[in-house]
Each structure stands twice: as structure tokens, then as C-alpha cells.
Amino acid sequence: MRRVLAVHFAPCALFVAGVLALVRAGSFSGRSDWHAVPPEGPVAAFGLTATVTVGAALLGLLLQPFQVRAVRVLEGYWDRWLVTAGLAEMLVQVQRKRWDSLRRRADGTAERDAEFRMRADARRRLAAHPPADVLLPTALGNALRRGELSAGERYGLATLASWPRIYFQVSDRLADALRSTRDSLDRSVNLCWSFLALTAAGAVALYDESADWWWCAAGLTLASVAYKGAVTAAQAYSGLMHIVYDLHRFDLLEALHYPLPTRESEGDAFGDVSDLFIHGEPPDLPYAHPDTGPESQHGAGEPP
């Protein structure tokens, strides 16, 4: 319930309330009269509250199935659309230039304390990015891609294929941290879209009222802040993904009833498991069933 209210209802309520304010001010039909926005009397206030509540609830229900798509658009997966494919390539080049700049700064020499701090900051920021050849057009996409392409790969597991399975093996405390961070990410993304939508609505309603263009400026500023919050949450989520594989990769093997590997064979074992997830090819690994009692010492159908 808390996730529904914070992630879906609140951003939709903000959008509905903003559009309703523009309508009550008469911005779509003429000069805006902001004095007409506040309700007059308790009955009008109750009616406005009910309108915002019902409208936000319906809008939230309609948009909830598209939550993943809302995040992916801000990540920069734009190659499917001809109009945005060129823009995506241009922004990727910008991201690569920033990556190269961070690399040069991280590898540079330092003689003074300020230079040491700058190099350390560049290394920290570079660690939050994926390799240069797989960069996405946006900071949000690169923050999430770092976890998607490296969390499990360090041990031979394909992260995208194994994540839905290993997620159910995590401890309760780690699962709470993952849910909380993911909620922060989704909430920030939805707030960003709400502010962008309010900016667009304001541009349509106030295009001929230059004195009220503060509405659009405020909307873009708040959308930028929300987007920055989404990037910060995405970086934290990617870090938690790495922790999941550090602590629970062997729990995944036990859940699949495969034997635990040695340090030398770990990469091969997890590579075989990844082939199972991706291609459906059974790994060349024996089953290791837990000893549950005397009957477990016998094969199937074999009398005790």
C-alpha cells in the first residue's frame, strides 16, 4: 500500500492537481486568473479533493502496467523509434566524451592534495559507469546498466538472465533494502514524468502569457531534480545488485540442486548455469540433493 501511494498515486495526484489549477484559472481559454484557483468554502474544497483523488487513482491504475517502460524511456532505449535513434547516438557520443575525460583524470598524475582528491573523485564516478562500448544516452541508463552488466558477470553469471531467480534467494534485510531503493527509483521517475507533463500542459495553456512562464521554468527545474534523484537511486540499486551476487550466488546453485564449485571451477559452473537460463541448455553438472533422511540414500523407486 505504501508503494502504491508513494510511487503511483502521489505523482499522478500532483499532475491532476496542476492541470485542475490551470483549468480553474482559465489558462486554456484566456488570461489566467490565479485568484480563482483556491476553492470557496468547504463544499468546493471537498469537491476538488475528491476530483484529484479519483482522477489520480484512475490515472495511477492506467499507468501502473507501464512502469518498466517509463523507466526504460528515461534510460535511453530509443533505438526502436526512427525519430529518436539519431538523438540517442548523439547523446551516446557525449557520454563517451565524458567517460574519456573521467578516464584521463583518473589515470593522471597528482602532486597536490587537490589533485589527489580530483583523481579519487574521477575514479569513484568512473566506477559508477559501464564500459565505454556499452554506454547509453542518459545518466540514468548508465547507472542501471553498470549493475545489469557487471553484478553477476564477475562470477560468470549473466546478470539479466539470473537476476529474477537469485532475487528470491536474498535475505530479508537485503530484500527490504532492494525494495526501498527500487521504490525510490520508481517514485523519482514518476515525479520526473509528472513535472514534464505539467510543463507541457503549462506550455499549451500559457504560451501567450509571458508573465506566467514561471510555470514551465518551475516544472523543468523540478523535473531535473527528480531525474537527479532517480540517478542517485539507480546507482544505489546497482550497488545492491553487486552485493546480492557477492552474498547469494551459491544460494542460487543450492536452489537449483547443483553442487557448490571450487574457486577454480566457479566461473565454469556459473557459465553453464547462465547457458541454461539463456539458451535452455542443461549444464554438465551433477545434481546435489540435500540429505533429508534415510530414504534419501536410495534412488527413486529403490526399496530401502
CA distance 67 to 70: 5
Which residues in 77-176 belong to E strands, given as ranges? Answer: none
CA distance 256 to 265: 17
- Torsion, Cα of 208, 212, 216, 222 (10° steps): -170
* Greatest C-alpha distance within the chain: 89
**Residue 141 pLDDT > 70:** yes
SS3 category, 138:
coil
For the chain, give every domain's residue range.
2-76+138-279, 83-131
Mean pLDDT, residues 118-127 taken together:
82
6: amino acid identity, one letter: A
35-61 pLDDT, tens digit each: 999 998 899 999 999 999 999 999 999
Residue 292's pLDDT is: 58
Mean pLDDT, residues 170-191 taken together:
96
% of the chain at pLDDT higher than 90: 68
Residue 132's pLDDT is: 86
82-116 pLDDT, tens digit each: 888 888 999 999 999 988 888 888 887 766 777 77
At 295, is the pLDDT very low, low, confident or very high (cuts 50, 70, 90)? very low
199-229 pLDDT, tens digit each: 999 999 999 899 999 999 999 999 999 999 9
- Exposure string over 29-42, b if 16+ CB within 10 A, otherwise e: eeebeeeebeeeee
138: amino acid identity, one letter: T
Residue 105's pLDDT is: 81
At 128, is the pLDDT very low, low, confident or very high (cuts 50, 70, 90)? confident
Residue 110's pLDDT is: 66
